[in-house]
């Protein structure tokens, strides 16, 4: 399959070479289109050498013979030919300017003209200064593009070339390549699945202005939603309050409290072939919620009652063939605690997050996990959350494959009663 990489003019333009390499590693044929300002940062020759193709640098012929109608004609229809050649267009880095041009249909250079002319999936990997990224004009342009089906590969947070620290750093090249593969539908291995997915944290009100909450940002759950959707699944995303934009074509159900999440899950359970509970649900809620804002009158003791365990309830309501995957945030003895949780809750798998490491986990862009089933503990080392989402889904998809429990256990071990029960739930053949 063929991909056009559009390079626009930001400091991250040098990373576009890595994007080209990452796409080539996936056996994709790559061509490059550069804007004029991109050429201030990196030479077309770099991309020509990497791709073995001429790099398109202008809408107009560079050394054309003004008397030759043919050469003008050839160049002016080149954008149409390129637009037809590409199975996907990915712009990396995408500057605020090129996003604005795309959003408003301007077409005064090759890349923006090709964007209008292509019917292929379009992806943009924005990279810019934090203030430019957060500016309402940029966000409005992104929203317009998202609504039109453009896939936005979110920038990461971190130190930027301008000296600021914040969102705006172009997503890692590997992540961009994964997004392109998904957009190309190269892996549609979740077609036919309907996923009921919970994400984010819940909030339990104390009074009209205060609540008990947790640090979950929803990033992991939203990444799973996007990954599953691009692998062909239908996704119902039940989300606690989150600042994230829902991925395109995902049905979003917003909830606030654990009880609202429970009702939403139970209401939609019957539609799902797969339930993934990535939400950080409150374990307790206040017995009383004050009608008016509480005043500071001295020491305060809150009385809390446990919330319903939604995951356990989902397992009790499970229908045949439905897979249920939980998450477990652990700060110590992850695999041990996760295994106990797996058995206690009766789920098919648990994704264990070690939330004791500040650089990964809550609100960060990277995460590491252990995918735990009754018989396996698969270590998923630190990687961007979007990539981890795909790795988790790879393991979930593998649960569907008919397999012998004895093969899973290693042929010598006799399965225990618990293992046999879990195998029956997962429709594993016991030999
Ligand atoms: N969960 C749930 N309902 C709750 C609490 C948790 O459905 N009231 C789900 C979470 O969505 C997650 C899994 O249970 O998929 C594990 O969450 P976690 O907080 O790690 O486990 P708990 O069951 O709360 O156990 P503990 O806090 O004692 O470790």
User: What count of other Cβ atoms lies within 10 Å of the Cβ of residue 114?
Assistant: 27
pLDDT confidence tier of residue 65, bands split at 50, 70 and 90: very low
Per-residue pLDDT at 73 exceeds 60: no
Mean pLDDT across 65-84: 61
- How much distance in Å is there from the Cα of 310 to the middle of ligand 1? 8
Under a CB-based contact definition with an 8 Å cutoff, are residues 54 and 27 in contact?
A: no
Annotated catalytic, 99? no
**Integer Cα distance of 383 and 377 in angstroms:** 18
DSSP 8-state assignment for residue 65:
-
**Integer Cα distance of 198 and 32 in angstroms:** 39
- Residue with the nearest Cα to atom 16 of ligand 1? 328
Q: How far is CA 82 from CA 76, 77, 208, 299, 370, in A?
A: 11, 9, 57, 70, 43
Per-residue pLDDT at 232 exceeds 50: yes
Q: How far is CA 81 from CA 8, 97, 119, 135, 373, in A?
A: 20, 24, 12, 35, 50
Nearest ligand 1 atom to alpha carbon 314 = 7
Residue recorded with tokens 């991309």: 47
- How much distance in Å is there from the Cα of 233 to the middle of ligand 1? 25
pLDDT confidence tier of residue 273, bands split at 50, 70 and 90: very high
DSSP 8-state assignment for residue 420:
H
CATH code for the part of the protein at 2-184? 3.40.50.1950
- How much distance in Å is there from the Cα of 280 to the middle of ligand 1? 7
Q: How far is CA 322 from CA 273, 343, 369, 425, in A?
A: 5, 17, 23, 9
Q: Where are the domains of the chain?
A: 2-184, 194-400
Q: What is the pLDDT of residues 379-424, one digit of tens each?
A: 888 888 888 998 899 899 988 876 555 555 554 456 676 666 666 6
Under a CB-based contact definition with an 8 Å cutoff, are residues 103 and 143 in contact?
A: no
pLDDT confidence tier of residue 343, bands split at 50, 70 and 90: very high
- Residue with the nearest Cα to atom 21 of ligand 1? 328
- Residue with the nearest Cα to atom 23 of ligand 1? 309
Per-residue pLDDT at 315 exceeds 90: yes
Nearest ligand 1 atom to alpha carbon 307 = 8
- How much distance in Å is there from the Cα of 20 to the middle of ligand 1? 41
**Integer Cα distance of 105 and 107 in angstroms:** 6
- Residue with the nearest Cα to atom 8 of ligand 1? 309
Q: What is the pLDDT of residues 85-99, one digit of tens each?
A: 999 999 999 999 999
The burial of 308, by beta-carbon neighbours within 10 Å (0-12 exposed, 13-18 middle, 19 or more buried), is given as middle
**Integer Cα distance of 408 and 361 in angstroms:** 30
Class of domain 194-400: alpha beta
Whether the domain at 2-184 and the domain at 194-400 fall into the same CATH topology: yes
Under a CB-based contact definition with an 8 Å cutoff, are residues 363 and 385 in contact?
A: no
Nearest ligand 1 atom to alpha carbon 282 = 8
Q: What is the pLDDT of residues 152-173, one digit of tens each?
A: 999 998 888 888 888 899 999 9
Nearest ligand 1 atom to alpha carbon 265 = 7
pLDDT confidence tier of residue 354, bands split at 50, 70 and 90: confident
Residue to substitute in 283, 284, 344 for testing ligand 1 pocket (most ligand atoms within 8 angstroms of CB)? 283
Higher pLDDT: 60 or 419? It is 60
- How much distance in Å is there from the Cα of 127 to the middle of ligand 1? 36
- Three-class DSSP category at 316: helix
pLDDT confidence tier of residue 72, bands split at 50, 70 and 90: very low
Mean pLDDT of the chain: 88
Residue recorded with tokens 């008990």: 212
- Residue with the nearest Cα to atom 6 of ligand 1? 281
Per-residue pLDDT at 350 exceeds 60: yes
Please tell me the predicted confidence (pLDDT) of residue 71: 46
Tell me which residues have their CB closer than 6 angstroms to ligand 1: 198, 258, 277, 279, 281, 283, 307, 309-311, 326-329
Please tell me the predicted confidence (pLDDT) of residue 28: 86
**Integer Cα distance of 264 and 196 in angstroms:** 10
Kindly name the residue from 49, 162, 302, 407 that is annotated as catalytic. 162
**Integer Cα distance of 358 and 364 in angstroms:** 8
- Three-class DSSP category at 245: coil
């Amino acid at each position: 399959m063929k991909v056009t990489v559009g390079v626009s003019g930001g400091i991250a333009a040098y990373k576009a070479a890595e994007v080209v390499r990452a796409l080539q590693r996936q056996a994709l044929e790559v061509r490059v289109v550069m804007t004029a300002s991109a050429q201030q940062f990196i030479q077309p020759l770099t991309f020509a050498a990497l791709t073995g193709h001429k790099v398109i640098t202008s809408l107009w012929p560079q050394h054309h013979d003004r008397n030759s109608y043919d050469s003008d004609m050839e160049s002016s229809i080149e954008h149409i030919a390129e637009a037809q050649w590409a199975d996907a267009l990915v712009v990396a880095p995408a500057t605020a300017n090129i996003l604005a041009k795309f959003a408003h249909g301007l077409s005064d250079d090759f890349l923006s003209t090709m964007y209008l002319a292509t019917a292929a999936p379009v992806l943009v990997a924005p990279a810019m200064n934090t203030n430019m990224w957060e500016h309402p004009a940029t966000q409005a342009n992104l929203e317009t593009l998202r609504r039109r089906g453009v896939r936005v590969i979110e920038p990461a947070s971190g130190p930027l070339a301008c000296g600021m620290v914040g969102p705006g750093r172009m997503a890692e090249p590997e992540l961009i390549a994964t997004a392109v593969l998904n957009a190309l539908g190269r892996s549609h291995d979740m077609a036919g699945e309907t996923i009921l997915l919970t994400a984010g944290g819940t909030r339990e009100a104390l009074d009209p202005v205060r609540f008990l909450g947790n640090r979950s940002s929803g990033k992991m759950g939203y990444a799973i939603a996007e990954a599953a959707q691009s692998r062909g699944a239908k996704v119902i995303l039940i989300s606690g309050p989150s600042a994230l934009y829902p991925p395109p074509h995902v049905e979003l159900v917003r909830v606030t409290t654990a009880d609202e999440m429970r009702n939403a899950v139970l209401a939609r359970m019957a539609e799902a072939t797969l339930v993934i509970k990535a939400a950080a649900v409150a374990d307790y809620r206040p017995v009383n919620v004050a009608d008016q804002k509480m005043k500071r009158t001295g020491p305060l003791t809150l009385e809390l009652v446990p919330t319903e365990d939604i995951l356990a309830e989902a397992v009790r309501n499970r229908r045949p063939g439905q897979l249920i995957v939980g998450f477990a945030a652990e700060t110590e003895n992850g695999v041990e605690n996760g295994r106990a949780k797996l058995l206690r809750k009766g789920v098919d798998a648990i994704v264990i997050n070690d939330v004791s490491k500040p650089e990964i986990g809550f609100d960060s862009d990277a995460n590491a996990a252990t995918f735990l089933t009754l018989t396996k503990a698969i270590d998923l080392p630190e990687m961007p959350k979007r990539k981890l989402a795909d790795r988790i889904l790879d393991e979930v998809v593998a649960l569907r494959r008919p397999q012998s429990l004895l093969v899973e256990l290693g042929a010598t071990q006799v399965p225990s009663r618990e293992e046999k029960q879990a195998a029956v739930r997962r429709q594993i053949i016991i030999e």
